[in-house]
Amino acid sequence: MSIQQVNNTIDFVKHELLNAEGGHDWFHTERVYKNALLIAKNESVDDLVVALGALLHDIADSKFHDGDETVGPRISREFLFKQNVDSTVIEHVINIIENISFKSSLGGQQTFSSPELDVIQDADRLDAIGAIGIARCFNYGGFKNRKLYDPDIKPNPNMSKEEYKRSHAPTINHFYEKLLLLKDKMNTKTGKLIAKKRHEFMTSYLEQFYKEWEGLK
């Protein structure tokens, strides 16, 4: 693995995400990167692809670019080319960026698969659940000025990709429409073990949330 290419990518991502929304900032990327390296230890993968893919996976999230899903891959491709990264590695990283998101799995099969994608996808999904996941969920809900909860608006866990992208549902609904579904969508053994604990934390949190909502505890 080229340490210099990885370090250059870290510096680039830190700069690009300097003013990003709190749930999709450099610290999110750093956690995904660290978890990807942890999971990769138990998988047969290309470490450079895992490192670069994890670091660049959220360089330009489409929800902050008017839904344009081409921005992230374009920025990543241009940067990696300037770093003289091997073309095969670049294409692999771009495929990971284009297929990593939860919404990409809605309404059909992913168009690309690889062990490296499995590792990074698990690392990204782990950061969407547990204590950090709850914090990120409500941070984004506040960023979009969404209700915390509305008992009259029921969750829809079977949305299509387009329905998911257009949703303005209360933040609590997102638990049922995505977060609580992730445990059973993990790819790796390590990812599944970590996800189980974080999933249990979320279910406990929701139990307490509803009790407090009703003024019972």
pLDDT digits (tens, 9 = 90+) for 152-173: 999 998 888 778 778 889 999 9
**The pair of three-digit structure tokens given for residue 105, joined into one six-digit string:** 């799995």
CA–CA gap between residue 84 and residue 210 (Å, rounded) = 53
Contact (Cβ atoms closer than 8 angstroms) between residue 50 and residue 36: yes
The number of distinct structural domains making up the chain is: 1
Tell me the pLDDT tens digit for each residue of 119-160.
999 999 999 999 999 999 999 999 999 999 999 999 998 888
Tell me the pLDDT tens digit for each residue of 36-48.
999 999 999 999 9
Helical pair 115-126 and 47-56, crossing angle rounded to 10 deg: 40
Longest dimension (CA), the chain: 60
Domain that holds residue 154: 3-213
Task: Give the CATH number for residue 77.
Answer: 1.10.3210.50
